[in-house]
Amino acid sequence: MSNRPGRKISRQTAHRPPPRKPSGASLDKRVLLVIASLAVAGILVGLIAVFTGNSSGDPSVPQTNDSAQVSGTVLPTFVDSSSDSAIGMQAPSFTTTDFDGFSREVFGAGGTADTAKIIGFFAHWCPHCQAEVPVVSDWLAGNTLPDGVEVIAVSTFVNSGRGNYPPSAWFEDVAWSSPVLLDSGSDTIGNSFGISSVPYWVVLDNNNTVLYRQAGSIGVDAFVGLVEMAATSLNN
């Protein structure tokens, strides 16, 4: 299954009875306890900041890159893998940054041949992405990709008003080890690859030709199939 960026996720709120108002004496005591607790919490937060440095949960870490650039032919919007008109087309090139601000260029049409690529487009608020990314991350941590094959994640459809924000903290929490690149706030990169929903997978050979596209959760076994597809294309 897959999620479209406009889909709303409902939330349930627990209802609790109103608390009883304490007496004056106990109120003063409770106020002192709250103040003491807040002071301790503030110290702990300060210590955490000192020892962890610039955490990806820090609001200063960029979550999108509105300077992301795309060149080349835009791929048609994905509909179905069995009759995908993008197969055989050259993918567009794009240049963007990662969460640390380092620039990365991914070559497509007109670029140099380098590696075969498996590009996964994920949204932090998407429950199917939240299920897919950790299991793929575990596979990447326990296995070595074939020579000439790389996996790239693109963080797209970013929305600070939706759950599991910020995406930088999410990718860190699941120990994602391959590059995570930032889409723009208007989803420039995703749109150029014909994204219609997430998760969204695109496989390119080392000449940047589209081999396969798929929307929705695929699971580990199918992901390994994408790795094999990319590796096989290097020999053709």
Per-residue HEC secondary structure of the chain comes to CCECCCCCCCCCCCCCCCCCCCCHHHHHHHHHHHHHHHHHHHHHHHHHHHHHCCCCCCCCCCCCCCCCEEECCCCCCCCCHHHCCCCCCECCEEEEEECCCCEEEECCCCCCCCCEEEEEEECCCCHHHHHHHHHHHHHHHHCCCCCCEEEEEEECCCCCCCCCCCHHHHHHHCCCCCCEEECCCCCHHHHHCCCCCECEEEEECCCCEEEEEEECCCHHHHHHHHHHHHHHHCCC
Percent of the chain residues topping a pLDDT of 70: 73
Enter the tokens of residue 218. Answer: 């695929």
Cβ atoms of 160 and 187 within 8 Å: the answer is no
Residue ranges per structural domain of the chain:
22-53, 69-233
pLDDT of residue 113: 65
Q: For residue 86, what are the contacts with CB-CB under 8 A and spacing of at least 6?
A: 75, 76, 78, 194, 210, 213
Range 69-233 classified under CATH 3.40.30.10: yes
pLDDT < 50 stretches in the chain: 6-27, 31-55
**Cis bond before residue 18 (omega within 30° of 0):** no
pLDDT of residue 60: 85
pLDDT of residue 88: 97
Cβ atoms of 65 and 183 within 8 Å: the answer is yes
C-alpha R_g of the chain:
22
Cβ atoms of 190 and 119 within 8 Å: the answer is no
Q: Express each pLDDT in 173-183 by its tens digit.
A: 999 999 999 99
pLDDT of residue 125: 98
Cβ atoms of 75 and 85 within 8 Å: the answer is no
Q: Express each pLDDT in 131-180 by its tens digit.
A: 999 999 999 999 999 999 999 999 999 999 999 999 999 999 999 999 99
Average pLDDT value over all residues in the chain = 82
Cβ atoms within 10 A of the Cβ of 112, count?
10
The residues with which 214 forms a beta bridge, in sequence order, are 201
pLDDT of residue 35: 39
pLDDT of residue 225: 98
pLDDT of residue 50: 31
